[in-house]
Chains A and B, each alone.
Chain A
Amino acid sequence: MCRLNSIENFTALQERLIAESHPDTPTIVIPAGTCGQASGALNLVLTAQHEILSRGLQNRIRLRVTGCHGFCEMEPSVLVEPKGTFYPKVDPAGMRRIIDALLRNDVVQDLLMADGSSGRNYENLGDLPFFRYQNRLLLSQNEKIDPLEITDYVKLGGYAAFVRLLEHNAPGEIIDELKQSGLRGRGGAGFSTGMKWDFLAREKNGKGKYLVCNADEGDPGAYMDRSILEGNPHSIIEGMLIGALATGADKGILYVRTEYPLAIKHLGTALTQARKFGLLGTNILNTGISFDISLIKGAGAFVCGEETALMRSIEGRMGEPRQRPPFPVQKGISSLPTLINNVETWANIPVIFRIGAREYASTGTGDTGTKIFSLVGKIKHTGLVEVPMGTPVRELIYTIGGGPSGKVGIKAVQTGGPSGGCIPAELFDIPISYEGLSRVGSIMGSGGMIVMDENTCMIDVARYFMKFLMDESCGACYVCRKGTQRMFELLDDIAAGKGSLEHLDLLEELSLTLKDASMCGLGQTAPNPVLSTLRYFRNEYLEHIEHKRCPAGVCKELISFSINELCTGCMACVKACPEGAITGEKKQRHSIDQDLCTRCGACRSVCRFDAVDVQ
């Protein structure tokens, strides 16, 4: 097998690739991550391939199929380089027109994204408000890289940081620089990554050490890790290689959740390519240093995102957490010292060493660097946004996200997944930082940011998270297993109008016990969604309890549907009603039989005239 066998060879390859890259060649870039594929990006790819091949355009137009760029809502989208023209929601016919225009060095005006207020078209990706206010330190790489081609990553300067550090081989300096960068774990608690590496480097063990990339991105509503894994798998590998160099680890593990099949494929390909290049495996670039990474697929268990459960899962056992100490760094996988970082943390490593710790640390206020959030829910522009630490929540939601998606206002934003909390709209001026978020009762977490508007019921949200945690608790520790079940029952009662004020007391008491007495982070943080909604939206709880009313019109037992005078008699709701509860003639106002109605909301979702009211 042929592989690169020296540092000079790697440098020569990189130089040659950069020299041959011709960045000015017109290139069609199609994001085809999982979200892109879900919205039909592969049809565009096929159309583009067909056009290019059948018309013999290979030398005039390049095609790059990449991972997610972040503006998932506008997918399938097309980006045309080198100008950076951005076309949202393209169909195959549009794709052909884009190619035709590109050959004329032109832009298809009517396919561009229009600014709602001025009517002007945004031509360039960088002009869009969604992108303009971001600092896409990590995500911008996704546009440049075909994740199936290691050469694309190398061409962008990839692996150069690792190779440079490999040449100097001074582990202490690497850790010092990392500490200087101020990088904190992007997976939740925000522990200093440099300190963590230092702990592992200090562990002496003749039998080896493990580095783990925790890609068990389980927080519902957060998917930035998926987009990195799919779009830029080599950045994780390079990050882990640098980690290995600094800590003396010799074994790496990528633990990816099974719900991400595309990420698994891309990582598998990336690992094979890195090995073939001689950048991974035994005797890397003939320097005598060895480090290899195995890919392990999770099997569907949220709790395996917890470090100790993750290690058990890697050992092929049930994912039950255990109490620390001993910490993973003392006794981890197969009793060997183990360091676990999440995907976004690893992806930051090559960037830090490429641009230097000082430069990196100059981004962000309060904390350093950027953080990727998945901005989803009831917001106009959904997608992945990367902003410097310290950016106010308001900027993310209104400037980048464009405000509410519907007619009603935004009420709160939920961060940190099931371990996090809800931030009410009046606190949107707080900066995004680990401490900033925890002061208001939430956490940074992995970066889910779910926007909720006036039509979202906070009791329903709390109940949703509690149901989630009840199902996902490993069940080993009694407090978590029973506590989440009991909290869910209490919330369920309240949502059903069977709650009393004692329910609230009991919820608060239980919350304290779960926080204190649970074995692992899942149980300890489980009460957060309840506590934060109780703190900021107690009124909504009281409405449910005292007036048996759901102000948002969500809790089925407390609402009723009726048809108002806007009804045109189009029969859509009559057809949609699964219970046959709606009667009416064509062109006459329909009515709902309350006895038959199950409050499923099907009528409301099909009505085009706002004629279905909820009380």
Chain B
Amino acid sequence: MNPEHIEKIVQRHRGEQGALFAILEDIQNHCHYLPEDALRKVSQLTGESLVDIFGVATFYKAFSLKPRGNHHVSVCLGTACHVRSAPGLVDEFTQQLGITPGETTGDGEFTLETVNCLGACALGPIVLVDGRYFSNVKRPDVKKIISRAGAGFRESTAERAGSSFPLEVVCPHCRSALLDTQNLIEDHPAISLMASSKGTSGWVRLSSLFGSRCHESEHAFADDTQLSYSCPTCGRILTTATPCIECGFPVGSLAFSGGGSLHICSLWGCRSHRISLNGLGSPGVAHEEIVTRV
């Protein structure tokens, strides 16, 4: 991991309560483990002694000092899962992958771990693979789970493609369509917006297929740039007070012509988006309206 990146991470969490945990977590998210040189750099930058950092890194189960595999299998061994034969699943994974919990396969593909409770006890035994939960897992399912994970859950992406559909969005202020019929992405009119960041302003086009992350833009914005979205027709700002659930940055809220809203994260690179059909129109806008009105 390059030192500048670590510096950036440390800088981001400076002064926060419990900053060390957040720093270690960010590093681990980036490298899948905590490399020795990164911990030494953190010690240098934060002034915490290496002994203390190393102690924390080894005390908590979430941190790993060994490189982890591309796919991360956690078998829940909570009480409810235990009484429903979760230990047998650990045996089965051990057998199928040829590694015991805590180890990584020789090819660096799979890491097997056990976890004390994932909190989905009613559906036990639970297996968590790369952020995906499998419930009521039985021994014969293990092989299937491994092969699906190995394939990067491709089948399920295909499933998703089947139910993916184009979103017809309009500007919540002037109600003009935001779909650009001249420019297609994935064979559908793209959602076209104006985006600006620090003086640079230009168009961005996003795939209108729900779930897709395809996009193009006039300027090459670096990932982690916060953009301000505006309507290409009326020019009003679309970024609202609603935070993105993935990164916490504000989202841009677009409206569906028949009601409801689409939230897209304003952090370039986050690409998280969410549909809201709970009848309040665009809550972010509603809030700002009322707050400014009263």
- Please list the residues of chain A having a beta carbon within 8 angstroms of any beta carbon in chain B: 1-4, 8-9, 12-13, 16, 20, 22, 25, 27, 34-35, 37-39, 43, 46-50, 52-54, 56-59, 62-64, 72-73, 75, 92, 146, 148-149, 151-152, 217-223, 226, 253, 258-261, 265-266, 268-269, 272-273, 276-277, 294, 296-302, 313-319, 374-378, 382-384, 414, 417, 448, 450, 452, 456, 461, 464-465, 468, 472, 474, 576, 578, 600-602, 605-606
Contacts and interface: CB of A to CB of B under 8 A. Distances in A.
B111 interface: no
B119 A268 contact: no
A456 B55 CA distance: 38
Report whether over half of chain A's contact residues are helix, strand or loop; otherwise say mixed.
Answer: mixed
30 contacts: A2-B292, A3-B291, A9-B291, A27-B278, A43-B163, A46-B160, A50-B163, A54-B165, A57-B258, A58-B277, A63-B277, A148-B245, A148-B274, A151-B286, A221-B78, A222-B121, A258-B25, A259-B116, A265-B245, A268-B248, A276-B287, A299-B21, A301-B60, A315-B18, A318-B56, A319-B60, A374-B80, A377-B79, A377-B80, A378-B83
B80 A576 contact: no
A220 B80 contact: yes
B134 interface: yes
Interface stretch (B85-93, B172-180, B189-197): B85-93
B20 A316 contact: yes
Contact of A269 (B79, B88, B248): B248
Given A37-B133, A299-B21, 11 more contacts: A8-B294, A13-B290, A27-B278, A56-B258, A58-B259, A59-B258, A73-B123, A217-B117, A221-B121, A450-B83, A600-B91
Q: Which 5 A-B pairs have the closest CB atoms?
A: A38-B133, A58-B259, A300-B61, A299-B60, A72-B122
A297 B122 contact: no
A277 B242 CA distance: 10
Contacts of A414: 79
Interface in B263-294: 274-280, 283, 286-288, 290-292, 294
Contacts of B84: 377-378
A223 B243 contact: no
Contacts of B85: 601, 605
Contacts of B77: 220, 468
B71 interface: no
B260 interface: yes
B219 interface: no
Most chain A beta-carbon neighbours within 10 Å: one of B117, B160, B241, B291: B117
Interface in B115-160: 115-124, 126, 131, 133-135, 138-140, 159-160
A401 B31 CA distance: 45
B68 to A, nearest CB: 14
Contacts of B294: 4, 8-9, 12-13
B18 A605 contact: no
Interface string B238-262: 0001110110100000001011100
Contacts of B48: 316
B4 interface: no
Contacts of B287: 13, 151, 276-277
B17 interface: yes
B119 A605 contact: no
A223 B245 contact: no
B97 interface: no
Contacts of B160: 46
A414 B78 CA distance: 13
B270 to A, nearest CB: 12
B237 to A, nearest CB: 12
Contact of B63 (A50, A73, A294, A299): A299
B88 A272 contact: no
Given A13-B294, A253-B17, A296-B21, A383 B79 contact: no
Contacts of A13: 287, 290-291, 294
Contacts of B82: 220, 464
B126 A58 contact: no
B9 interface: no
B245 A602 contact: no
Contact of A382 (B60, B121, B242): B121
Contacts of B276: 146, 148-149
A456 B120 contact: no
B62 interface: yes
A47 B287 CA distance: 28
Interface string B206-236: 0000110000000000000000000000000
A2 B24 CA distance: 34
A75 B85 CA distance: 21
Contact of A605 (B62, B63, B138, B159): B138
B38 interface: no
Contacts of A64: 278
Contacts of A148: 245, 274, 276
B188 to A, nearest CB: 13
A310 to B, nearest CB: 11
B184 interface: no
Nearest to B23: A316
B260 A376 contact: no
Nearest to B124: A376
Given A22-B279, A38-B123, A218-B116, A606 B140 contact: yes
A511 B6 CA distance: 47
A578 B92 contact: yes
Contact of B60 (A34, A222, A269, A300): A300
Contacts of B167: 53
A601 B124 CA distance: 17
